[in-house]
Structures are given as C-alpha cells and as structure tokens.
Chains A and B, each alone.
Chain A
Amino acid sequence: MAKMTMVKAITAALDEELSRDPKVLVFGEDVGKNGGVFRATDKLQEKHGKDQVFDTPLAESGIIGLSNGLALQGFRPVPELQFFGFVFEAFDEIAGQLARERFRMGGSRKMPVTIRSAFGGGVNTPELHSDSFEGLVAQVPGLRVVCPSGPYDAKGLLISSIRSDDPIVFLEHMKAYRSFKEEVPDDAYTVPLDKAGIKREGKDVTIITYGYMVRLALQAADELAKEGIDAEVLDLRTLAPLDEDTILASVKKTGRVVLVQEAQKQAGVSANVAALIAEKGILSLGAPVARVASPDTPYPFAQAEKAWLPNKQDIINQVKETVQF
C-alpha cells in the first residue's frame, strides 16, 4: 500500500499489465521516450522496450486504426488519444470499426482494445482539451465507457479494462490526475467493470455522478450532513453500460435523485440514467429527478471555466431543492 495520485496509479496499472502479458502494447503520441504529456507512461518504454511501448505519428485515426489491426493479429493494444477532444479524428475507427468488429465477424475475433484518453475541466487547458465527450461514445453499441474518479478505482478499473476482451474507452479526468492521493495496493487488483460504487452511504437523497464530480459530490455531502441532509453518493464508474441494479437499489432506498455531470446538460450520460429511473424506479420517487450540469454551450475559454463548470455549491443547492420539494 502506498498513497499515490491517480496518474501514478494509472502508470502502475500499465506497468503491471505490460509485465504480465507481452501482447499488451502501449502506444500513442509522445507516450514512449517522453513518458506521456501527463507522465502517465513515465519510464515504461525504458522498462518494457520499444517493441511494447512506442510513439506513433500525430494522427488519431491512424492510432486507432493501428489498434484495430493489431487486435485482429492477437495483440491487446492500449492506445492513447492525447486529449479526448481529438476523438473526432478517430471516430470512424472507434464507432464505425472497433465497436462493431466482433459483431461484423460473427464473434470469430475479439477486439481487446483499451483507448486511454485525458479529458476534464478546471485546469485551464487550451481549446478542445477539456471537453466531456463521454456521451458520444456511450451511445455506441459495442463499446464500454469507463471513467474512474480517483487513484484506487483508476488502477483496478484499468487492469480490468486491459484484461477485458471488449473494446473500452477509458477516460481520465485531468483534474483528478494529481489533485489528491488515495491508498493504492502495490500488487495488481481489479475493480469490476459495469459496476457502480457507493462512495458514501446515505438515506435522504442519492447523488449519481462520475469522474471528478464524485469528489465535489462527496465534499457537498459533508456540508449537507451538517444541515441534517444525509446524501448517498453513487459513482457510476462504468458509464456504458449502466449498472442498473445499483442505481435502482439506491433510488428505492432514498426516493430522491440528483444527477451530477461536468458535461453540458444535453451531453454526458445523466439523461440516460434519468430515463432508466423513469422506466424502472418511478414508484420510488418522492421528487422529480434533478440534473446538475454545465450550460449548453461549447466548452468555455479558460478564463470562464470557474463560472461555467458545475461546482460544490451548485450540487448543495440542487440537493436541498430536491430534498425540500
């Protein structure tokens, strides 16, 4: 056990899997000698060699096309898209090819690809670096979308993802990379895919969220507790497919739901969760399902982030409104 940041936990997971299986390959723009723009692949090339960890030309569609070809040849590619804002360059390779390949081939091949990518706001990035586009990939049948909220989950979920025979988009929130530490076991361990995690037990209201917003929700829950409001915080962890059982059990317990996402209200995955609750949990509802999200505009200029992104107070205000409905 050691206290570590999320980015270090991710490096540890990659290191474990590269050692465990020579078919695991890590590649992308500047992930080799440089060690990645966030140091996520730091020293991995030195340790595992250029045949397992290597740089690619600057072409996202090529990187994912390369992953698809390598997967068809029996490798377990773990490509990196430097920032998820650049996913559009690779969207056909992801949605039109990778996600459909097993289906198209009648299950005669598997596509064990894990696409790692950084996203997320609050760190003053330039344009198209911080956008939350998880909703786009969450709408693609055949893909899993995974988003850890902190170091412990990041290592366990990344190991699970790399070992999965299904294609996975693994989204790493930039603000969560280094802003806090958690105890992380030294050895390999897994956190199950398709399973949400209850990060805080509560009885009055369920806050359903993911990514860096989990941390804000937990801070909001601490403040709400001082006012006698006992909030449960549910971390989706896997955004597609949704863990219906855990979501519905929590809704049944509390009867009140606040969905929190960093993405714009028209984006993200909150609407999917709201629809699920409307379909299968409506008789538990004591208040309308509420959503905290960003405004429906393109991601703002860095100077406007603070005013634009959902914050702790937004969560507190909405939870109070929902509890007092």
Chain B
Amino acid sequence: DHHLPVLAMPAVRKYARDHSVDLTQIKGTGRHGQILRSDVDAFLENDGVVD
C-alpha cells in the first residue's frame, strides 16, 4: 500500500533517487521495517521486479 509511509534513512532515499528506484515498490528488511541500501541493490539486481 503506497499510502503507508516509506521508512528509509536519507542516504538510502538519495541512493534510490540516483538509481530511479521508487521506494514504495520495495519491502524493507531493516530494523523498524526500514528499507536498506542492500534492499535497493537487491531490487535493482532483480531488474526492478517486485517479488
């Protein structure tokens, strides 16, 4: 549900933005459910396909 706030630290948000990744498409694996840089990398390796 993209209306839920996305949890990610500023550095991850910038990383995602630099790689044209929409954070609402990613499920975070970090503490507090936050999206990690590694989650963005996994998403990119997966060609942006949401599992």
Which residues of A come within 8 Å of B, CB atoms?
A: 255, 282-287, 324-325
Chain A residues with Cβ below 8 Å from B12 are 286
Q: A-facing mask of B1-23, CB < 8 A → 1, else 0?
A: 00000000111111000000000
Are A282 and B10 neighbours in the complex by a CB distance under 8 Å? Answer: yes
A325 and B34 CA atoms in complex are apart in Å by 10
A283 and B14 CA atoms in complex are apart in Å by 6
Most buried by B among A282, A283, A284, A287: A283
Q: Which of B1-51 contact A (CB under 8 A)?
A: 9-14, 31, 37
Shortest Cβ-Cβ A-B pairs, 9 listed: A283-B14, A286-B11, A282-B10, A285-B10, A286-B9, A283-B10, A255-B11, A285-B11, A284-B11
Question: How many contacts A-B (CB < 8 Å)?
Answer: 19
Smallest CB–CB gap between B28 and chain A, Å? Answer: 13
Is chain A's interface secondary structure helix, strand, loop, or mixed overall? loop
Q: In the complex, which residue of chain A has the Cβ closest to the Cβ of B15?
A: A283
Are A283 and B11 neighbours in the complex by a CB distance under 8 Å? Answer: yes
A168 and B11 CA atoms in complex are apart in Å by 37
Q: In the complex, which residue of chain A has the Cβ closest to the Cβ of B9?
A: A286
Q: In the complex, which residue of chain B has the Cβ closest to the Cβ of A287?
A: B9
A284 and B37 CA atoms in complex are apart in Å by 12
Q: In the complex, which residue of chain A has the Cβ closest to the Cβ of B8?
A: A286
Smallest CB–CB gap between A289 and chain B, Å? Answer: 11
Chain A residues with Cβ below 8 Å from B13 are 283
A286 and B12 CA atoms in complex are apart in Å by 7
19 contacts between A and B (CB under 8 A): A255-B11, A282-B10, A283-B10, A283-B11, A283-B13, A283-B14, A284-B10, A284-B11, A285-B9, A285-B10, A285-B11, A286-B9, A286-B11, A286-B12, A286-B37, A287-B9, A324-B31, A325-B9, A325-B31
